[in-house]
Structure 1
Amino acid sequence: MAISPSAIVLTTLNHGSCITTTRRVHELGINMHVLCAIQRVCILCEKRLLTTVDDVDKHLKEIKTFRYNRWLVVLMVGLSCGAFSLLFGGDWPVFFTTCVASAVGMFVRQEIAHRHFSPLINFAATAFIATSIASMATVYQWGDQPYLAMAACVLLLVPGFPLVNAVFDMVKGYFNMGLARWGTATLLTVSATAGIVLAMKLTGVWGWNP
């Protein structure tokens, strides 16, 4: 098996004949429920609990896509970013401002992703809107350390999966895939930074200090 950023190449032997097939990799969202289900099938194959192609095919076809309600995701992302603001030393006004900013940002992120825009545009727009809302805490002096809301509201944009998987791929020897994911994570970070800087430019709130 050869993995590249845009395709997977599989080669096998069938009755003494070599068969190679190539499948294109399409840009899809990450669904951890599906990934875990596929991982379980792989483990069953390694333990020889699944020994035939039909058994594997049956288990794979039984995998159903599960998604959380989008409003539940918006709520939990808002609360998680708000919790980070408390961990950073913020008070309750900062917490509520962060919750609102990050929740609105997550809603915007979902809407843009639903319309299949580039992830780079998505991250920049989400960072811009979330930072613009959070900067109001500094403008109107909500709380003791209002600038913490600006730092915490964009934590939903940290590209954790591409960065972690990039390291895993390179450790396993898939350097092309690892570097591609690392580059993707870097570009997403730059896009989010551009949105944050643009928001601070328009609101006049620079840096994380009031």
Structure 2
Amino acid sequence: MDTKQRAVSRLIAQAGQMLLAHGAESALVGSIMERIGLACGMDEVEVSLSSSSLVVTTVNRGHCITTARRCADRGINMRVVTQVQRICIMLERGIIDDYLAQHKLNQISPERYNRWLVVFMIGLSCAAFARLAGGDWAVFGMTFLASAVGMMVRQEIGHRHFNPLLNFAVTAFVTTAISVQAYIYDIGNVPTLVMASSVLMLVPGVPLINFVADMLKGYVNMGIARFVMASLLTLSTCLGIIAAMSVFDVWGWLL
């Protein structure tokens, strides 16, 4: 029985580790971990979460096992989150046991979209914002170019595992450096829209959403940590934008 409890504890910890690392909200992480443990026959499952680690305790027939795991940020990936949820549901319905659940968990890989598809869609979405805000097709084209190139820079820096704050700052600088050309050469009917719309890809939407969800559901420490990280990412983006506008001495967006 101790051997099974240790295996289940490792399964729960690994599931929670994957959920936290790929952007799941804290309430979902705690709920999934508890449900997996109960589905595997544990009497109690207690979970404690922090911004970079988790601690899980399982109780079975009076015997208690506690394990801790570090949770490095692996980037937002909802495919991983949904796959872990499916494993949890299959456990609850008795379709698989804890041994098969561990095997399935080990098989989960954070698949990514084709990088060129991501670049195209990011450029298109930012350009669409500019168009909806009243820009003409010249503004649309410049926004697409600036945001697409910026996304390529972001991907390259991320691929080399640089600090995310540095990544956002450099990406914002490059994107703004391209978009200010529309203002300098008076391209389009509202050139400042290019500067404003092309950096929208750097808005840390998921951390901000998770921050609100965590605060509302009682995970105050996690919410504060996510808010601080989102704020730092926003600050890095602002520094990159200001740096580019200082280099080209273009302040039209702020006037």
The TM-score with structure 1 as length reference comes to 0.93
- Secondary structure (helix, strand or coil) at the match of 1:13 reads strand
Per the alignment, residue 24 of structure 1 pairs with 70
Q: Which whole-Å CA distance do the structure 1 matches of 2:139 and 2:217 have between them?
A: 43
Q: SS where residue 229 of structure 2 aligns?
A: helix
Q: Deviations over 1:43-64 (max 9, x none)?
A: 444x534573234324424434
Amino acid at match of 1:159: P
Q: 1:49, 1:26 → 2: CA distance?
A: 31
- Corresponding residue for residue 137 of structure 2: 92
**Aligned equivalent of 1:38:** 84
| One-letter amino acid of the counterpart of residue 101, structure 2 | V
1:52-110 deviation per Cα after TM superposition (whole angstroms, max 9, x unaligned): 32343244244343211111111111111111110111001111100010001000001
- Render the CA deviation track for 1:126-160: whole Å, top value 9, x for unaligned: 00110110010010000111110000000000000
**Matched residue, 2:249:** 204
Select the residue among 140, 143, 153 that pairs with 2:198: 153
Cα separation, 2, equivalents of 1:208 and 1:79? 21
Q: 1:191 aligns with which of 211, 216, 236?
A: 236
The one-character-per-residue Cα deviations of 1:28-52 (angstroms, maximum 9, x if unpaired) are 111121112222333444x534573
The letter of the residue matching 1:37 is: Q
Output the amino acid matched with 2:175.
A
Deviation of residue 172 (structure 1)?
Answer: 2.4
Identity of aligned residues (%): 54
Structure 1 unmatched ranges of 5 or more: none
Structure 1 residues 209 and 173: alpha-carbon distance in aligned structure 2, compared to 1, 3 A threshold: closer
State whether residues 50 and 56 of structure 1, in contact with CA within 8 Å, keep that contact through their aligned partners in structure 2. Answer: no
Residue type of the partner of 2:108? I
For 1:4, the equivalent position in structure 2 comes to 50
Moved over 4 A (4+): none
- 1:81 aligns to 2:126 (yes or no): yes
Quick check: 66-75 or 140-149, which moved more? 66-75
Determine the structure 2 residue equivalent to 1:57: 102
Aligned length, in residue pairs: 209
- Asked if 1:69 is matched to 2:114, the reply is yes
Q: Residue type of the partner of 2:229? A: T
| Residues 160-204 of structure 1, C-alpha deviations (whole Å, 9 max, x = no match) | 010011112222222111110110000000100011111111112
Greater shift, 117-126 or 32-41, is seen at 32-41
- The aligned counterpart of 1:119 is 164
Report the TM-score when normalising by structure 2. 0.77
